[in-house]
């Protein structure tokens, strides 16, 4: 069974600064996907970024980037130039692909607050 | 473009009552999922479906039943609600089980069982 751990229950950052959210996972699968989802106060789950395990290059989406360390089973999210709208709960999630029927395994979440 | 919708958005039940949560998607997705979100535990999978007429148990299925009679709808039933089922429930859908296909989430249903 896969497990996903987010060890930072809460984080805060000043507007325009950079913040990194941590995530570690455990799996025996060789090919899989990792995700970061954002959940603002509206409760809507929004996909921020995804990384395929076979790709060595770290994924980037505008101000969001990841540091994927496959051997260490680590998948951190870096948010650059933080904005007030980035205030949300962030979830790290794992998908083992075909063997898991697309099921997502989530971490506990990290509440990020961006201060003006 | 509706995407994934959930009905109702909020509900309060008394212990022992029953109810059905409805999830509908208009993206012709094969795969649908029900998750529950509890503080400090992230989202956990209750049941899922890989196509019309098929359902399977997830991580926390006890106390819930599901049905997928139509491809676009996935129903989650609570036959006899318990306070431990107080949670926020999310439905999601995706085109396939592959990670490259995005899993889209509904807006959630907040359920309180007294």
CB contact under 8 A, A104 and B45: yes
How far apart (Å, rounded) are the C-alpha atoms in residues A46 and A64? 13
Say what the pLDDT of residue B101 is.
Answer: 82
Residue of A nearest to B93 (CA): A102
Q: Which DSSP helix (H) or strand (E) runs through B68?
A: none
**Per-residue model confidence as pLDDT tens digits over A46-101:** 999 999 999 889 999 999 999 999 999 999 999 999 999 999 999 999 998 666 77
Tell me the average pLDDT across A100-107: 87
Give contacts of A75 with chain B, Cβ < 8 Å: none
* Residue whose tokens read 């709208």: A85
Asked whether B31 and B48 are in contact (CB, 8 A), the reply is: yes
How near does any CA of chain B get to the CA of A66, in Å? 17
Compute how many other C-beta atoms are within 10 angstroms of the C-beta atom of residue A31. 12
């Amino acid at each position: 069974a896969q497990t996903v751990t987010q060890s930072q229950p809460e984080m805060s950052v000043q507007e325009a600064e950079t913040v990194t959210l941590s995530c570690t996972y455990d799996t025996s699968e060789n090919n899989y996907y990792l995700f970061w989802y954002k959940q603002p106060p509206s409760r809507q789950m929004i996909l921020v970024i995804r990384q395929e395990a076979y790709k060595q290059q770290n994924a980037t989406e505008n101000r969001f980037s990841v540091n994927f360390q496959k051997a260490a089973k680590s998948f951190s999210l870096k948010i650059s130039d933080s904005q007030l709208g980035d205030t949300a709960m962030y979830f790290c999630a794992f998908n083992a692909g075909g063997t898991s029927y697309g099921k997502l395994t989530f971490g506990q979440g990290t509440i990020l607050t961006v201060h003006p | 473009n509706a995407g994934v919708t959930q009905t109702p958005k909020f509900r309060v039940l008394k212990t022992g009552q029953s109810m059905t949560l409805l999830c509908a998607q208009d993206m012709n997705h094969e795969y649908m999922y029900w998750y529950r979100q509890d503080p400090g535990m992230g989202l956990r999978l209750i049941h899922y479906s890989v196509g019309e007429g098929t359902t399977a148990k997830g991580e926390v299925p006890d106390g819930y039943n599901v049905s997928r009679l139509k491809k676009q709808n996935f129903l989650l039933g609570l036959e006899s609600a318990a306070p431990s089922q107080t949670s926020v429930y999310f439905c999601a859908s995706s085109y396939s089980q592959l990670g490259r296909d995005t899993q889209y989430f509904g807006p959630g249903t907040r359920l309180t069982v007294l």
